[in-house]
Structure 1
Amino acid sequence: MIHETEVAGIIENSLFLIGAGFSRGAGCLTSVQMFEDLKKKIFEESSQILSPVQKETLKFLISCLKYHSEWRTMETENNFKFAPNIEELALLIRRVRNRENFLPYPITGNWADKLVQLESQYATEPESNGNLFDSLEIILKKLLKDEWLALPGNDSLDYMKPLMEFLKAYSDEAFRLDIFSLNYDTVIERFFEAEGEIPWRGFSNGQWAHIEPDQENDPGARINLYKLHGSVDWVRLADMDTWELSKLDDTRDSDGKQELSDNIDEKHNPYIIFGQGTKSFSVEPFFSMIHHFNSSLKSANKRYFFVIGYSFFDPYINNLLFNAVRGFKKLIIVNPSFAPESLFEIDDKTGWPRSDEHSFFRARYKQGCNKGDLTDFMREIQKNSFYSELPEFNFLTVSAENIEYIPLTAESFIEHFFSDRGELLKRYIDGFEVQRQDEEPF
């Protein structure tokens, strides 16, 4: 039997960071799946979303990303496989548009003439509107919002029911679940709102307010949801204010004359930080959220960082994690397809690493492999100049002793660790707490 106060302590000591893999069970596409779907759209004759020049440009950029991924793979002596994704494409589009120097081969050199030619051709298209690369970024955001992250129905969110049942089982406890999300989708919000549990996202009456939960007006809320990179249902107005799109209906400006929805900045509809690279911004709400994330990681109370469905291809987030995971803090990676397959015993049916049910579903390593090999994989990401402009400043590794790897999907993790009032979660954390108290008795 789990004592409620013990569970409250576990939640207070834990932080949850979720990536794209968390939403895969709801039907949302991962960044690699988005990339593959975009490739299909290039060759669909019935697709009206892309013009001929836009298709030709994407074929060129995608080919360059393929080249660069293979090059990065070979640079690791073929030990780690890299594959392009939609975030990398968005980053490349932005860098080309801004004429940055950080471009992968073979775009640099004489290949740049191809880009100039495509821009000139786009300007002559009947329906061209502005810059070619601006138009591509707008199309990607539209696909994110209308197709790739669209939710088919509430039934697709049922995999989160054990989490809701867990919260209801401890309804008398005052703990709040801290969830930091790298996703743009509204999976978390849709599920919990349908259950009558509205997560705190930092908005008051639809407008961005502040990080701290509104305890006075909503003291019973159980979830703090911080979307570090924005959301498909956020927009930025011309005056730089951030709003939830659904709350702009029938909302007028301070003079009561104009609908606020008329002032949406279409470049920031939705308002998201899209594409890898530097994601440190001194504008709200992103600045407050990333600062709060870093403060939470460093807090002495937060000892267990559950990282679910995140691929670790964002060095900026990695730096914050690696810098915080010290001493007795644990980085608990939950992802069935994380890291090279060559390190693990692979399940023939799923193609994912086998997990040991009798050892809290920890990954089974091949003979001669261990958690230290995971840090080598992370180091390769941190050293790569494509993922960050200043890789020499990145934290290159985290101690293997601080890493735990559970090769489960988000759906399986929630089912196993939050069912039965969180029995497995408690026993899992108990093991670390016993070890910590043995080594630090005072």
Structure 2
Amino acid sequence: MIPRTIVLLGAGASRDAGAPLTSDLAEILVRKMNQSPRPGPEVQALNFVYSAMIGHQGEDGSDPLRAVNIETLVSAVRLLQARESHEVAPFVAAWKAGALGFGRASGSRAFNGRAAKSAVEKAIDHRFPNGDELANLIEGIARDVARPREDYAFKALESALLKGIRSELTNLSSVDYLRPLGDLASAQPGGLAIVTLNYDRTIEMMASEAGIELDTGIERWTPGVPFSFERKDGRINLYKLHGSVDWELIDERPNLRTVRPPKIEVVIDRADVEEFDPAAAPPRAPGLPWIVVGDREKLATDGPTLDLLHAASEAFAEATSLVVVGYSFADSHINAMVRNWMAADPTRTMTVVDPGWPSLGSDEPRGHFATAYGASDDHNQAGVIPRIAVIAESAASGLARGLDMLPSRPEVWATAEWAPDPDGGEVAIRLHGPSLANVTVEAVAGGQGVNVFASSEERSTFVPSSRRFARYVGPIEQGAQFSVFPTVPIGEDSLELTLDGDDLVGHRRISVPALIVPPVAPPNS
């Protein structure tokens, strides 16, 4: 199969352009909405939801700072709007105090006033075909008066949050660091498929500045019609699985949603356009963006999400290597797509650019992928090439290398030079392979274990499996040199060292023969 790369982008891929992460975005919007000189009921509702989620996270001693991101926040707000009809409602004896009171007066009174006025005007103009429709409308108004529209504040809050998301993700800085994606689209036959979970327009901006053709497919998407992307040299096919800040739902008629499918259009903000084609759809002030922000809506059937996900799966099937940038592996449906793609062909590989990649053994999805594909030496996989590689850097510093890099096992992990002396001498070790954590060093001379003293640490631990002493030397960066000192004279016996440590995707056990360095003759006096 011809080598072909596909790219998956998470929020971290846009961070270097000034886009906040999902966790930071929630905090930013809370702070800005509370700066309003006359905060309305939606701000009260925001403060209630945000503080309740943080408090709940801290009840069992968990980190409250990780309790809320923008997706969980919007998901909670939408759930509270439909709390009485939610499937869990019969099991909730009482909603948390405060969830029912925001915006009752202002929201309900404004709504019922408009509805009553409309009903009277229609009755006067005889636009009701029969009395039943007028009676039903009046009955609804009366019912709402008796039971106010308690969801008003939460609906207003959802709108405010969506507008805030659009605002925060629109004013971005330079996207030059993303140019390697454009270069790959130009160099790779059939262009480049980029699957993004982000709502921002960083890739569109980069493509425009670089003169790269780009297709999101959204304007030709039609519900019920097969949806696919054509590969084309020099083009980026951009699969925006969770929507975009410049997408909007048009012709939305909630009362006809059952029989009239939705349609998405790309909105151009007049403020962002210097010249535009008057024959095209005129720019206008943006409304609410079509973005999938709630955890429960990422597989929603009413919209392009599933069609985009299917099209992305087809693009994955054509690829031999995956480059993941700034994605924390927090979305289960995306993880399943990556998992299934990796499982379908043992030659497929994944390179991840992520400055926050966790240490080996982490009990989170990233740790699970590392364990599955890192080819650890303690899993009887010594010498096996890993199927995953990690560059622990930001997108700005690691993207170009990530696009060129495939998982591999270095031909030379480390070298050692030994300068013996009557006390044992000094062994200088240089690490050429990936950086290692939790490094210990074992030494053998003449078939016998030899204790060594580390220049950076003075403690050793006994390794029962080898019946030798291992000296702990701590984390070692790629390219770094460190020394160990045998504690007994060794004579002319060969000295063999074993380095034991963890890189980002696997456990490594590396044999390193120590080459004897001839003594340097003193200069002639």
TM-score of the pair, normalised by structure 2: 0.56
Give the C-alpha shift of residue 111 in structure 1: 4.4
Task: Indicate which of 239, 249, 265 corresponds to 1:226.
Answer: 239
Partner secondary structure for residue 226 of structure 1: strand
2:435 aligned residue = none
CA distance in 2 between partners of 1:305 and 1:213 (Å): 18
Matched, 1:195 2:210: yes
Q: Which has the higher strand share?
A: 2
Matched, 1:25 2:16: yes
2:264 aligned residue = 242
Give per-residue Cα distances to partners, 1:30-87, cap 9 Å, x unaligned.
11111111231243244x6x51x2222111111121133335774xxx8x98442111
Give the residue type in structure 2 aligned to 1:245. V
Alpha-carbon spacing, 1:95–1:283, altered in 2? closer, same or farther (3 Å): closer
1:123 aligned residue = 107
Where does 1:23-422 land on structure 2 (aligned, <5 Å)?
Answer: 23-46=14-37, 50-51=39-40, 53-70=41-58, 74=62, 82-99=66-83, 100=86, 109-123=93-107, 131-146=152-167, 148-153=168-173, 156-168=174-186, 170=187, 174-203=189-218, 211-213=227-229, 219-238=232-251, 240-246=262-268, 269-297=288-316, 299=317, 301-326=318-343, 327-339=346-358, 343=359, 370=360, 373-374=361-362, 376-378=363-365, 401=375, 402-417=387-402
Give the C-alpha shift of residue 152 in structure 1: 3.9
Alpha-carbon spacing, 1:68–1:177, altered in 2? closer, same or farther (3 Å): farther
Give the C-alpha shift of residue 276 in structure 1: 1.5
Larger radius of gyration: 2
Alpha-carbon spacing, 1:42–1:283, altered in 2? closer, same or farther (3 Å): closer
CA distance in 1 between partners of 2:299 and 2:46 (Å): 27
Give per-residue Cα distances to partners, 1:227-265, cap 9 Å, x unaligned.
00111111121262221113998679xxxxxx8999x99
Contact 1:73–1:82 at 8 Å: present in 2 too? Answer: no
Alpha-carbon spacing, 1:151–1:111, altered in 2? closer, same or farther (3 Å): same
Contact 2:221–2:304 at 8 Å: present in 1 too? Answer: no
Give the C-alpha shift of residue 196 in structure 1: 1.5
Structure 1 gap segments, 5+ residues each: 1-7, 253-258, 344-369, 383-394, 419-424, 435-442
Q: Which has the higher helix share?
A: 1
Structure 2 gap segments, 5+ residues each: 113-148, 252-259, 270-275, 376-386, 412-525
Contact 1:234–1:270 at 8 Å: present in 2 too? Answer: yes
**Higher relative contact order (CA closer than 8 Å, sequence separation 6+):** 1
2:440 aligned residue = none
CA distance in 1 between partners of 2:267 and 2:398 (Å): 32
Alpha-carbon spacing, 1:109–1:334, altered in 2? closer, same or farther (3 Å): farther
Contact 1:181–1:226 at 8 Å: present in 2 too? Answer: yes
Give per-residue Cα distances to partners, 1:131-190, cap 9 Å, x unaligned.
2211111111111112x101345xx1111234434555x3xx533111001111111001
Percent identity, aligned pairs only, is 24
2:459 aligned residue = none
Give the C-alpha shift of residue 127 in structure 1: 10
CA distance in 2 between partners of 1:398 and 1:131 (Å): 48
Give the residue type in structure 1 aligned to 2:210. E
Give the C-alpha shift of residue 398 in structure 1: 5.3
Contact 1:203–1:210 at 8 Å: present in 2 too? Answer: no
TM-score of the pair, normalised by structure 1: 0.65
CA distance in 1 between partners of 2:160 and 2:177 (Å): 31
CA distance in 1 between partners of 2:206 and 2:366 (Å): 36
